[in-house]
């Protein structure tokens, strides 16, 4: 069923066609086969850009990076009219390296276009190469060419970015089954049209080193089985036996939780039936369901104990992993500290010698400072005495009596001061107002 003009609505959950889609006359031109470009280069390019933009927009919207010519013809059918120009559009998109064939991408998703050309024409089996050239280049079989599947790289990267942003970022450190990841994509609103589209996105994310993959072969088909989401960038993406063991424990835990919920619901139903039969006075039937209730309770208890053991194991595994991380951090820190100490020469003997030298140097510095300060004080005192002597000589004053700080009472020299000298010395004293009364001064003079 195609997306005709009547299907175009403005709701966000439906694809919105451009306004020109309603113009029948213009769309007849757009649906027609391409004419030679040299006749009308501008019209040719406008028509080509219209279809390439429309295809890219729809594939991104629907989360459908994988498509074929037949898919596009049915998707963009208007009424009974199929677009007759899409084969030319696909050829142009391939030349512009906007698309790659699905078989080539799945064979080597990380390979470049140059490497793909060499591999497809030289390294791979000739039968496979001839089939590819026949269907994608020569297109002798038009029906087979219309069914060849392509991958739109922009649509693929767009869906990959949505998965990484909305799903992987919230489930770091987990190992998920393919169906579990598919459910998470649906829960978080990431559009994925089909399982093959999701597989292509997971292959691209694996090439980006964002997640790890484990495959299984079922009915002769290689399929993605487990997806490992690392805790942080740079972690090992290989799925080890330990990862699988933890994954099995987590699955068992989920199954036990589901079984416990079912048992609780069944116990509740039995209780209701027991009450019903008691009201109807059917005691034997009530006893039957009561016995069944006891069996269900025992089963519930056993499963609860098993769930407790599983959760204890998971907790122990998580604690051991965290302890290993802490131990690794200790080792790294110890080795780093040893390296720093070795490079800087910080050893006990060296540090002790340096500190001893520092103490000796500080002691010498203090002694020098003491000597210099004493010398300066003595010189300053002598200079001050000389200046006082010169001032007295200039003022015509007699030299004041000098007293030795160390007085020997046995050898005390007698100092003789006349009355006039004593009165002159008292008059030279400066006294603040109010400290000594005039009467006191007169009494001193009288006594003298």
Domain ranges of the chain: 19-113+144-238, 243-373+381-396
Answer yes or no: are the C-beta atoms of 230 and 239 closer than 8 Å. Answer: no
Q: How would you write the chain as a 3-class SS string?
A: CCCCHHHCCCCCCCCCCCHHHHCHHHHHHHHCCCCCCCCCHHHHHHHHHHHHHHHHHHHHHHCCCEEEHHHHHHHCCECCECCCCHHHHHHHHHHCCCEEEHHHHHHCCCCCHHHHHHHHHHHCCHHHHHHHHHHHHHCCCHHHHHHCEEEEHHHHHHHHHHHHHHCHHHCCCCEEEHHHHHHHHHHCCCCCCCHHHHHHHHHHHHHCCCCEEEEEEECCEEEEEEEECCCCCCCCCCCCHHHHHHHHHHHHHHHHHHHHHHHHHHHHHHHHHHHHHHHCCCHHHHHHHHHHHHHHHHHHHHHHHHHHHHHHHHHHHHHHHHHHHHHHHHHHHHHHHHHHHHHHCCCHHHHHHHHHHHHHHHHHHHHHHHHHHHHHHHHHHHHHHHHHHHHHHHHCCCCCCCCCCCCCHHHCCCCCCCHHHHHHHHHHCCCCCCCCCHHHHHHHHHHC
At residue 415, the pLDDT reads 59
pLDDT at 340: 80
Contact partners, residue 388, CB within 8 Å, separation at least 6: none
* Angle ∠(222,223,225) on CA atoms, nearest 5: 135
The predicted structure's pLDDT at residue 117: 43
425 vs 419: CA distance, rounded Å: 10
Structure tokens at 221: 């088909």
- Quick check: 82 and 216 in contact, CB under 8 A? no
pLDDT of residue 261: 92
* pLDDT under 70: residue ranges of the chain: 1-13, 111-143, 345-346, 348, 374-380, 397-416, 429-448
pLDDT in the model for residue 110: 73
């Amino acid at each position: 069923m195609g997306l005709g003009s009547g299907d175009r609505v403005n709701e966000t959950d439906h694809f919105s066609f451009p306004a020109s889609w309603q113009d029948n006359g213009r769309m007849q031109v757009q649906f027609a086969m391409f004419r030679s470009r040299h006749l009308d280069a501008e019209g040719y390019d406008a028509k080509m850009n219209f279809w390439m933009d429309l295809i890219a927009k729809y594939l991104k919207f629907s989360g459908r990076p994988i498509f074929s010519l037949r898919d596009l013809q049915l998707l963009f059918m208007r009424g009974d009219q199929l677009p007759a120009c899409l084969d030319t559009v696909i050829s142009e998109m391939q030349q512009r390296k906007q698309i790659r064939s699905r078989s080539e991408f799945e064979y080597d998703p990380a390979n470049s276009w140059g490497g793909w050309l060499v591999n497809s024409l030289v390294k791979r089996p000739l039968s496979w190469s001839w089939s590819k050239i026949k269907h994608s280049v020569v297109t002798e079989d038009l029906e087979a060419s219309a069914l060849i599947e392509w991958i739109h790289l922009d649509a693929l990267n767009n869906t990959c970015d949505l998965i990484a942003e909305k799903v992987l970022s919230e489930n770091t450190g987990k190992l998920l089954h393919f169906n579990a990841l598919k459910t998470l994509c649906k829960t978080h609103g990431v559009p994925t049209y089909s399982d093959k589209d999701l597989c292509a996105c997971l292959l691209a994310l694996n090439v980006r080193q964002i997640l790890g993959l484990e495959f299984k072969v079922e009915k002769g088909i290689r399929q993605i089985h487990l997806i490992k989401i690392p805790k942080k960038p740079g972690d090992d993406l290989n799925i080890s036996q330990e990862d699988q063991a933890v994954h099995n424990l987590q699955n068992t835990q989920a199954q036990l939780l589901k079984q416990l919920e079912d048992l609780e619901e069944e116990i509740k139903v039995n209780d209701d039936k027991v009450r019903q039969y008691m009201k109807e006075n059917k005691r034997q039937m009530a006893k039957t369901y009561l016995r069944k209730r006891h069996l269900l309770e025992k089963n519930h208890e056993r499963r609860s104990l098993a769930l407790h053991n599983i959760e204890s194991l998971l907790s122990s595994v998580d604690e051991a992993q965290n302890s290993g991380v802490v131990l690794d951090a200790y080792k790294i820190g110890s080795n780093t500290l040893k390296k720093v100490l070795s490079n800087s020469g910080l050893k006990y003997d060296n540090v002790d010698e340096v500190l001893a030298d520092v103490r000796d140097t500080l002691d010498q510095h203090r002694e020098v400072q003491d000597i210099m300060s004493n010398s300066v004080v003595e010189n300053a005192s002598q200079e001050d005495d000389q200046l006082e002597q010169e001032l007295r000589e200039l003022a015509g004053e007699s030299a004041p009596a000098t007293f030795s700080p160390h007085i020997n009472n046995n050898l005390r020299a007698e100092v003789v001061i006349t009355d006039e000298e004593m009165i002159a010395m008292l008059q030279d004293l400066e006294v603040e107002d109010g400290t000594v009364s005039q009467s006191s001064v007169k009494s001193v003079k009288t006594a003298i």
